Structure formats: C-alpha cells, structure tokens
C-alpha cells in the first residue's frame, strides 16, 4: 500500500468523483496503477496532525527542470507556496510555470518528518542539478539538422515530370547538404557511404532505416530524397522532416537472413543467392524491401548477433546494424537463408503527382493565385526580396459565390506547392467552417498551433477556407460580435507576428556576402522562415473589417462565374472524368454551355451527375450495351442552380409573334437584351457599351407589360418582376433595404432582367414626398444604376404611364437612358395587333379579311381594347355553341371526387364568325376618350422634348467697330 499526502485547495467538485490534476496524477503513478490493477481502490482520509516545516530541501528531477527553474526563479518564489501546501519525503510534485511549462521537484525531508506543511515562514532550498557533459562517442557521428523529404517525382516550371533514379537502398541529398554532415570531411566519397535515417518528431521513434548515401545535384539543398519503401517503413510523407547520420562503425556479419516474397512470382533460395552474387553492392538491415529486376518483389530481414538485445533509447543512440551484400561483398550461404511464405501485396511504385486538380476552365484563376504566392514561397523570389530589402506583400482573399470552386482551387494550389521544383513547400488548409461553434479559446489554440506548425515546416502556405463563416462582420443583430472581434484580433496578431519573424530573418541575411556557387544555399536559407497566409470567402467584404486593413487580407482575387467558353471546358472535364473520355458528346456540351448561363462549377457538376443518371435509365430502358450513357439535356431539365433557389422568377409564354405593332421597340429590345446573350462572344470582342437601362412609357393598354412578358420568354434571361408599391415601406430604412435586396436577387440570378412596373410610384421627383421615403429610394436606385454598386449582368427595364413624375436624375445618360414610347396604334398597327391576337383563335374563313375593316373603325382603341373586342367575340361564339336544352347534355358521376360533369352530346363548332366580331365591336368602346388622348399626347410630347438634348443656336451680334489697321481685333457677342 502506497500513501501520499496532498492538500485540499478548498474548491468543490462538480460530481462525486475525486479530481486531481493530470500532472500530479502522473507523479503519483496513478495511471499506471489503475491500468495494471483495474479493481484498485483509493481511500481518502483526513490527516489528524501535519507539522509545519521550517526548512525543506527540494531537488529538480532532471537537468532540464533545473535550467527552467533558473530562468524563472523570481516567478517560482511567488508561486511555489500557492501551488504546493503539503510535501512528503521523496514524493514528486509538479509546479506549473506561466501555464505552459511544468517542472517536477522531489522533496527531501528529515527522517523524523515523513511529511510536512509549508507556510509563509518555511524556507525552501532547491538544490542544483547541473547537466553533466556527455562523454565523446567514438562509435557514431552526430545526427544532422532536420531535413525535408524530397519527392522522387516532381514538376518542373514547364509542367514536365523530373524523375530521380535511384536504387531501393539509396538516400539522395545535395552535395552541399552532405558537406554539412558530421563526419563528411573524413569520409571517402569513392567508397560506399552508409547512413541511417529516422523521422523527426517530438516523441522520438525507434524505427529507422539504413541505406547508401549518394549525392545528386537534382535534389534541392537541405532536402533528402527517400524511396517509397523507406517512407512506408518510417511512416512519413513528402515534405516531412527527417534526420540522417553517417555511420562510423563497419558493417556486421549477420546471423541469418529471412526472405519473404511479396509478389506472386516464384522464388527459391538458390535464385536469391545467385541474384546477390551478380547484383551491385547494396546495404541491408532489418525490413528491406527490394525488387529482383522486373519480376519478384521481396522483403529481406537481416538478423545480427545482437538482435535480441532490447533498448528503449531513441534512434540517435541506437545501434545501426547493417551489412553490405553483393558482388565483391558478403553473400550469405544457403544454410544462412530462410524462406518464409508471404502475402501477395501491391507493388509500391512512385507515381507522377497531380499538380493541379482543377477543372480545365479554371486554370487561369489557379495561375493567377500561383503568380501571387510564388514570389513569397519560391527560393529565388525570397532571395531577391531579401537582397532588395522589400517587405512581403499582403495576404490574398479569394472570393466568389458558393459553389464557385474556392475549396477546389485551394487544394489544387496546395498540390502545386508540394510538387513544384521551385517551391517544394508545405501547404496547410484550415476549414474555418469546422471551427465554427467551438469555444473561443479552442479556436485560438487551433489557429496558434497552425501558425506554429507552419513556421516549423517553413516555407509554408496557410489557407483559411471560408473565413467569413468564422469571422463575419460585426452587426447589431448578432450576439457573437464580441467573440468575432476577439478572434479577428487574434488572427491579425498571428499574421503580424509571422511577418515580423520573416522580416527579422530576412534582415539577418540581407548583408550576407554570397558567392555565385553558394546562391542556392542562400536562397534556401531565405525561404526557411517564409509563411504566406491566404483566405477564401464569399465576398471580399464579408469578413471582419479588422482583417481587411493594409498588410493583412488586402489583395482580393475574384472568381467570376464561368462564361460560355469556360463552361464548355468545365463540362468537358467533368464528362471526361465520369466517362474516361469514351463518349463523344461535344454537340451536347456546346448546347448545354449556352443554356447554363449563370451556373457555378458546383451546378455544372450536379448537371453532369444528373445527366449520367438519366442516361443510365434511358440505356436500361432501351437495353443498350454501349459505353457510358450521358444525356445533358435531360440533366438540365427541371434543374435549378443554387443562385436561383429561393428566388421567385417570372415565367411567361408570350412570344414576339403575340405582339402586334411596336416593331421598332421590339427590335430595340432584341438588340439590347436578346442579341448580346445569344452572341456573347461577338459582343465581347466589339468595343461597344450597350445600354443596360430602358424605360417603357406610354398610355395604359398600349403593350408595355406585354413587351416585358415577351422579354421574359424570348431573351433567355432570368426575369424578376416587381411592382412599384411593393418596395415602399413606412419604416425608415426598410424601403432602401428592399431596393438592395431586389438588386441582390437580380445579381444572384444574373444574367437577369429586373422589371420595375409602375416605376413612377417607386421613384417620383425628390421633394414631392413629405415623409422622405421615396427620396431615399431614389438615392438608393441612383447608386445601383450609376454602377457604384455592382450590377454586372443585370438589365433594368422600367415601365410607367407617367414619365413626367419620375425623378429626372434617373433618366440621365448611364442610367435609364433609353426611353421607348409605346403610343396609340395607327391603322396598320391595329391590324397587326388584331392578327397577332387572333392567330391562336379558331376563325371562320371570312374573318381575317374583315380584320382590316375593324382596324379602320377603331380609331381611339388601344391594344388592350382591341384584344378585348376579339375576346368578347370568342365568348359570343362559345355561348352560341352551348346547348340550350338539358336533353342535349350527357351527365357523368365521378366516384372518387363525388362530382358530376356535363358534356354536350353533339359537340358543335365554336368558330368566330363575322357577326360575332360585329356584335362585340358594337358593344365595345375605347377606354380613352379623345380629350384624354390629346392630354396624353401633350404630356408625352413635352416629355420627349425635355428628355432630348438641347441644341442652342448662336447668332453674331452686329458691331459698329471697323476692322482696320487701327482696330486689329474685335469681340463678337453671342446671344
């Protein structure tokens, strides 16, 4: 039974469990005891009497603890009584220094005092524990500094692969790196140079590998290239840190050799010995995986005489046992080789890395990102900036809508950093969306650990994905504004500290004299402490304002929605990924690229996935056995892109042929809205700026809303219709917010048409409203129509019957600068309207010839009045075809709906005849009187004159002055 004396701090536990600190539990060895004895019982009793110690001697447990105590002696004097109240002879106690460092002390008490209590009068004496000098080890050289694992296959600047050729037991380093190794000066390069390699980690690992060291100029300075077998044995990946050490001891003779085949190729002991005799020299230790030519692959375990010895020392002090086998060296006999049966496994080959896992249509954005981060990560760029004394640029904020491909671009940039010869740097991607919801201290600790890891593995890129999800702008309605601000301040401090460390490192190297031969070493040293930070967000302004200051995230890079060419490339890449390039659907791709205007990358991926499913269903129905089916048009059917989900779009079935008259206005709308969308490439190449704001004005019933319906159906644009009074709100700020939301919906649905009906109610002349609501609405509209607020891909189409009431500022050039008058139709236009309305009606043979007479008799009729005449005639024809007697009807009872339906026994024709039209015309009258028409004409005429630019004619006033030698010059008065 072991007894320990502890003190109670006076706090209460949250449950019925005994709570002690983790450090103190380790000192008491409670964890080991509970693991070895699951039924262990711990008894707690109150000590009846505890003497107060006058003098207590304490000894640090290790030399590291003594060095830390020396550095924090003043802090320890104030904290030791607060953290320790009871000591026991030979009992270890932990003391925490500044919340991050823990030292351990052992109490030494007199024999007559097994335990004691400390008070303010107690004297605590800490005995020193100096670090003893280690005896010189003549059996091994010192290990190297941490080296970066160099990939065996990398990408050059021209995107071609560079493959390093070496044997299974070779370790490749740069000659300058080899010169810095301990023992390199006394090593003969002509002989076989053996070295051990192990993974660099906080907790030392006993796993190591032994191989032949070879110098190569293809490896970058301070890097080391390992085979895939070594990487798997050491559990490391490329760009991890390892240490190597030259072996000073000679090779040993093994006791036996165990061979385990890993492939299905047959292998015998005689074949293995014969292969060793004819092969070039190689180094073998434990767990060597080698390949016999192009055939068998096997694992060779070499057992030495001292292989049964066990040790818990780290690899720096382990015995690096090895043997050199091959032609001219040791070859084991048949009696010393043991063949074991092994499982067949996959061959571990190096593959060409995929540098940019990005769709073809987005490679331009990736190159732009690379161009901005390369000068701060590449060795040559860092060396040039160090020599010039230039400060590093600010951080990049990559912004784009949801589904635009931000995360994919970050992953592609990470792969490009890892596998490009000029950088070979680490890249850490932090998902800020995963950190949302965690406690603030936990988020701060995660960010701090990421920056520390980046500096430990520098040069390094830190990418904060979806930073606006973790640190959005502050708002009065949000309850997490304080937490967001504190997180933003913490991130800003981390970035500034990182820049400060990099600038100090560059200042130390700036005045170093460098020979041209040592320039690669200097460049690698300059990039040693380079850390680049970038982030992604939906918008450049959607993160906290503290992070947008100069030197932080001040370099925005936008991801635009893909155009027709980019969409075609993206669709081709997505289709090639799911069909392996077997199907030729180029005609579908071109058609789908035109129909997916405003689609994001994620939307296109979902369309291809839907197309694959629809094509598979169709192939199963047709019992097709061909290649991978794909039907893009079926994938587009009933699909709504993410930007349009939740947005109410206006749907219309009106065609241009349904509109009579208004020929010039229809052509103007086609030129402005339909043709730029249909022939986007042609208009993009032309140096012209098309108007994006149009105003339809005219008397009621003359086709303004009908034209808008045709635009919604014919122009291939998303159509959003809003009535003027829907925007106005009595509360201050609500109307302006409604305008902002309106244009936000239109921008999300771009390319789109925003139709503002009854525009005079929304934007009257400023000063006419006593409340000031419409004045603020007009001001908000001006900011959008002027382009102060971006509205790319948004066309504004307004309609009104009172243009004189609209604020004149909205009708100036650059805003609603194209005014289209929809007036009363003349005779030809009335005939065109009657023909357009009647083309979907069933007419008698003599009715089309009669329409010209009706057009001449309807002088004051508007387009709506003419439509009402034909609708009334159609109603007369229907009434005439309805049977008058009940016996002429068939009655049918429906059980499911418990309803009754009637249908005529002998259906009669409901064609519109001439007398139907005459009767409907006689019963109708124009909706606008002659006086009202004259009033409209005067009002629209004055509006036309006011909207046209004034041209002033100047005259020269007559002068009585005479132009001669005495009067060489005269002034001309203009009036």
Q: What does each C-alpha distance from 792 to 560, 642, 648 come to in angstroms? A: 11, 18, 20
The domain made up of 22-126 is a member of CATH 3.10.330.10: yes
Cβ-based neighbours of 26, under 8 Å, separated by 6 or more: 94
**Which CATH architecture group holds 656-802?**
3-Layer(aba) Sandwich (3.40)
Cβ-based neighbours of 793, under 8 Å, separated by 6 or more: 598, 747, 750, 751, 752
Query: Could you identify the residue written with the tokens 């005429």?
Result: 941
Q: Return the HEC string of 750-807.
A: CCEEEEEECHHHHCECCCCCCCCHHHHHHHHHHHHHCCCCCCCCEEEEEEECCHHHEC
The secondary structure of 182-243 as a DSSP string is: TTSTTS-TTSPPEEEEEE--SS-----EEEEEEE-TTSPTTEEE--HHHHHHHT--TT-EEE
Where residue 595 falls among pLDDT bands split at 50, 70, 90?
confident
Cβ-based neighbours of 569, under 8 Å, separated by 6 or more: 359, 360, 361
Locate the DSSP E strands across 200-347: 209-215, 223-225, 241-246, 256-261, 282-284, 288-291, 297-303, 323-325, 337-339
Spell 765-786 as b/e; 16+ CB within 10 A means b: bbeeeeeebbbbbbebbbebbe
Where residue 897 falls among pLDDT bands split at 50, 70, 90?
low
Point out the least confidently predicted range of 5-14, 475-484, 686-695, 790-799.
Answer: 475-484
Average pLDDT of span 455-467:
84
Average pLDDT of span 590-605:
76
Query: Any idea where the domains of the chain sit in the sequence?
Result: 22-126, 147-339, 360-557, 564-640, 656-802, 827-928
Evaluated on CA atoms 362, 363, 364, 366, the torsion sign reads: positive
Closest CA to 315 of 149, 204, 210: 204
Q: Which CATH number fits domain 360-557: 3.40.605.10, 3.40.50.300, 3.40.50.1110, 1.20.120.450?
A: 3.40.50.300
State the CB neighbour count (10 A cutoff) for residue 951.
5
DSSP 8-state secondary structure symbol assigned to residue 142:
P
Where residue 200 falls among pLDDT bands split at 50, 70, 90?
confident
Q: Are 443 and 483 within 8 A, CB to CB?
A: no
Closest CA to 917 of 864, 860, 838, 829: 838
Q: What average pLDDT does the structure give for the chain?
A: 75
Q: What is the pLDDT of residues 606-640, one digit of tens each?
A: 888 888 877 777 777 766 555 456 677 777 777 77
State the CB neighbour count (10 A cutoff) for residue 176.
17
Residue 270 burial (C-beta neighbours within 10 Å; 0-12, 13-18, 19+): exposed
Identity of the highest mean pLDDT range in 138-142, 314-318, 353-357, 752-756 = 752-756
Point out the least confidently predicted range of 325-334, 476-485, 922-931.
Answer: 476-485
Whether 781 shows a pLDDT value over 80: the answer reads yes
CATH number of the structural domain 147-339? 2.40.40.20
Gap between the Cα atoms of 613 and 341, Å rounded: 46
| Phi-psi domain of 822 (left: phi exceeds 0; alpha: psi -120 through 50; beta: other) | beta
Average pLDDT of span 285-295:
66
Does pTM top 0.85 for this prediction? Answer: no
Closest CA to 396 of 235, 273, 559, 521: 559
Where residue 189 falls among pLDDT bands split at 50, 70, 90?
low
Gap between the Cα atoms of 87 and 898, Å rounded: 93
Helix (H, G, I), strand (E, B) or coil at 446: helix
- 625 vs 868, residue with greater confidence: 868
Gap between the Cα atoms of 256 and 340, Å rounded: 13
Where residue 77 falls among pLDDT bands split at 50, 70, 90?
confident
Q: Return the HEC string of 451-500.
A: HHHHHHCCCEEEEEECHHHHCCCCCCCCCCHHHHHHHHHHHHHHHHHHHH
Residue 748 burial (C-beta neighbours within 10 Å; 0-12, 13-18, 19+): buried
Q: Are 713 and 654 within 8 A, CB to CB?
A: yes
The percent of residues in the chain predicted with pLDDT above 90, rounded, is 0
| Beta-ladder partners of 210 | 196
Where residue 951 falls among pLDDT bands split at 50, 70, 90?
very low
pLDDT value at residue 952: 40
Residue 679 tokens read as: 């022939």
Gap between the Cα atoms of 373 and 427, Å rounded: 11
Whether 313 shows a pLDDT value over 50: the answer reads no
Cβ-based neighbours of 382, under 8 Å, separated by 6 or more: 375, 376, 459, 506, 523, 526, 527, 530
Gap between the Cα atoms of 754 and 793, Å rounded: 11
CA 709 remoteness from chain centre:
38
CATH number of the structural domain 564-640? 1.10.8.60
What value does the CA radius of gyration of the chain take, rounded to a whole number of Å?
43
Where residue 585 falls among pLDDT bands split at 50, 70, 90?
low
Helices vs strands, H then E, count in the chain: 32, 32
Q: Do 564-640 and 827-928 show the same overall fold? A: yes
Point out the least confidently predicted range of 18-27, 72-81, 245-254, 881-890.
Answer: 881-890
- 490 vs 813, residue with greater confidence: 490
pLDDT value at residue 961: 47
Gap between the Cα atoms of 773 and 781, Å rounded: 12
pLDDT value at residue 105: 85
Q: What is the pLDDT of residues 149-169, one digit of tens each?
A: 876 655 554 455 556 666 777
Cβ-based neighbours of 215, under 8 Å, separated by 6 or more: 172, 173, 174, 175, 178, 189
The domain made up of 827-928 is a member of CATH 3.30.1370.100: no
Average pLDDT of span 548-563:
81
Q: Are 489 and 544 within 8 A, CB to CB?
A: no
Average pLDDT of span 641-669:
77
Cβ-based neighbours of 553, under 8 Å, separated by 6 or more: 394, 395, 396, 397, 534, 535, 543, 547
| Beta-ladder partners of 106 | 59, 92
Residue 195 tokens read as: 């070295």
DSSP 8-state secondary structure symbol assigned to residue 843:
B
Q: Are 499 and 394 within 8 A, CB to CB?
A: no
State the CB neighbour count (10 A cutoff) for residue 148.
21
Where residue 580 falls among pLDDT bands split at 50, 70, 90?
low
Average pLDDT of span 197-221:
76
- 188 vs 821, residue with greater confidence: 821
Gap between the Cα atoms of 768 and 758, Å rounded: 17
Residue 559 tokens read as: 């991801």
Whether 669 shows a pLDDT value over 80: the answer reads yes
Q: What is the pLDDT of residues 34-50, one digit of tens each?
A: 666 666 677 777 777 77
- 215 vs 731, residue with greater confidence: 215
Gap between the Cα atoms of 729 and 354, Å rounded: 56
Query: Could you identify the residue written with the tokens 């401090």?
Result: 493
């Amino acid at each position: 039974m072991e007894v320990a004396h502890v003190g109670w701090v006076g706090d209460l536990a949250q449950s019925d469990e005994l709570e002690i600190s983790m450090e103190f539990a380790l000192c008491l060895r409670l964890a080991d005891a509970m693991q070895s004895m699951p039924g262990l019982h711990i008894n707690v009793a109150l000590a009846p009497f505890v003497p107060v110690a006058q003098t207590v001697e304490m000894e640090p447990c290790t030399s590291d603890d003594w060095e830390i105590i020396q550095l924090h002696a003043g802090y320890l004097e104030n904290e030791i009584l607060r953290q320790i109240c009871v000591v026991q002879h030979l009992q270890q106690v932990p003391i925490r220094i500044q919340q991050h460092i823990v030292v351990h002390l052992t109490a030494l008490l007199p024999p007559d005092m097994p335990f004691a209590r400390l008070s303010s009068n107690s004297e605590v004496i800490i005995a020193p524990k100096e670090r003893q000098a280690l005896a010189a080890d003549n059996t091994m050289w010192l290990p190297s500094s941490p080296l970066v694992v160099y990939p065996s296959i990398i990408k050059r600047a021209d995107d071609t692969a560079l493959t390093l050729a070496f044997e299974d037991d070779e370790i490749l380093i740069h000659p300058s790196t080899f010169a810095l190794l301990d023992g390199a000066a006394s090593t003969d390069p002509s002989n076989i140079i053996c070295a051990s390699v192990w993974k660099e980690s906080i907790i030392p690992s006993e796993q190591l590998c032994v191989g032949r060291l070879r110098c190569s100029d293809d490896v970058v300075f301070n890097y080391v290239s390992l085979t895939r077998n070594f990487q798997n044995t050491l559990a490391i990946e490329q760009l991890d840190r390892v240490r190597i050490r030259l072996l000073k001891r000679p090779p040993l003779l093994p006791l036996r050799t165990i061979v385990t085949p890993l492939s299905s190729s047959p292998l015998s002991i005689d074949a293995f010995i014969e292969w060793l005799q004819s092969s070039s020299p190689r180094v073998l230790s434990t767990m060597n995986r080698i390949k016999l030519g192009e055939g068998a692959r096997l694992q060779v375990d070499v057992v030495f005489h001292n292989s049964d010895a066990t040790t818990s020392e780290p690899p720096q002090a382990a015995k690096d046992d090895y043997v050199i086998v091959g032609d001219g060296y040791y070859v084991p006999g048949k009696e010393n080789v043991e063949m074991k049966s092994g499982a067949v496994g996959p061959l571990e080959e190096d593959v060409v890395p995929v540098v940019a896992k990005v769709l073809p249509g987005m490679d331009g954005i990736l190159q732009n990102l690379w161009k901005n981060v390369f000068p701060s990560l590449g060795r040559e760029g860092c060396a040039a900036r160090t020599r010039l004394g230039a400060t590093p640029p600010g951080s990049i904020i990559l912004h784009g809508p949801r589904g635009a491909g931000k995360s994919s671009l970050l992953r592609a940039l990470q792969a490009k950093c890892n596998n490009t010869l000029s950088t070979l740097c680490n890249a850490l991607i932090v998902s800020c969306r995963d950190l949302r919801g965690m406690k603030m201290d936990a988020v701060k600790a995660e960010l701090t650990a990421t920056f520390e890891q980046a500096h430990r593995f520098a040069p390094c890129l830190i990418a904060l994905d979806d930073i606006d999800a973790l640190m959005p702008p502050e708002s009065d309605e949000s309850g997490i504004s304080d937490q967001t601000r504190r997180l933003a301040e913490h991130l800003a401090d981390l970035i500034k500290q990182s820049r400060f460390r990099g600038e100090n490192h560059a200042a130390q190297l700036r005045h170093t004299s460098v020979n041209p031969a040592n320039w690669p070493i200097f460049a690698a040293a300059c990039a040693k402490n380079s850390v680049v930070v970038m982030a992604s967000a939906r918008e450049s302004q959607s993160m906290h304002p503290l992070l947008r200051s100069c030197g932080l995230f001040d370099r925005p890079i936008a991801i635009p929605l893909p155009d027709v060419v980019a969409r075609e490339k993206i669709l081709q890449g997505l289709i090639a990924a799911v069909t392996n390039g077997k199907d030729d659907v180029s005609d579908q791709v071109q058609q789908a690229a035109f129909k997916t205007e405003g689609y994001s990358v994620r939307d296109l991926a979902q369309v291809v996935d839907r197309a694959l499913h629809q094509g598979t269903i169709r192939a199963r129905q047709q019992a097709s056995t061909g290649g991978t089916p794909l039907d893009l048009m079926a994938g587009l059917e009933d699909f709504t892109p993410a930007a349009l989900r939740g947005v109410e779009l206006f749907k219309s079935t009106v065609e241009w042929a349904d509109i009579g008259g208004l020929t010039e206005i229809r052509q103007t709308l086609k030129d402005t809205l339909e043709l730029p969308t249909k022939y986007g490439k042609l208009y993009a190449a032309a140096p012209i700026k098309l108007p994006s704001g149009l105003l339809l004005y005219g008397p009621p019933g003359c086709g303004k809303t009908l034209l808008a319906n045709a635009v919604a159906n014919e122009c291939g644009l998303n159509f959003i219709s809003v009535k003027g009074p829907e925007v106005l709100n009595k509360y201050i700020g609500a109307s302006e917010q409604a305008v902002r939301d309106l244009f936000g919906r239109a921008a999300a649905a771009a390319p789109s048409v925003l139709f503002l009906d009854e525009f005079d109610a929304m934007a009257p002349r400023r000063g006419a409203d006593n409340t000031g609501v419409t004045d603020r609405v007009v001001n908000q509209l001006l900011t959008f129509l002027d382009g102060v607020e971006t509205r790319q891909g948004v066309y504004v189409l307004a309609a009104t019957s009172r243009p004189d009431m609209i604020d004149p500022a909205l009708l100036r050039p650059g805003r609603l600068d194209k005014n289209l008058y929809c007036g009363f139709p003349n005779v030809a236009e009335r005939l065109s309207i009657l023909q357009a309305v009647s083309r979907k009606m069933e007419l008698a043979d003599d009715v089309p010839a009669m329409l010209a007479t009706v057009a001449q008799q309807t002088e004051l009729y508007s387009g709506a009045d003419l439509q009402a005449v034909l609708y009334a005639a159609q109603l007369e024809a229907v009434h005439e075809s309805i049977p008058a007697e009940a016996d002429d009807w068939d009655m049918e009872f429906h059980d499911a709906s418990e309803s009754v339906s009637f249908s005529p026994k002998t259906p009669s024709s409901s064609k519109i005849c001439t007398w139907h039209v005459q009767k409907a015309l006689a019963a109708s009258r124009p909706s606008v009187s002659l006086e009202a028409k004259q009033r409209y004409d005067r009002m629209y005429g004055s509006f036309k004159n006011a909207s046209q630019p004034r041209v002033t004619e100047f005259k020269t006033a007559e002068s009585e002055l005479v132009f001669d030698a005495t009067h060489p010059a005269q002034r001309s008065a203009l009036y």
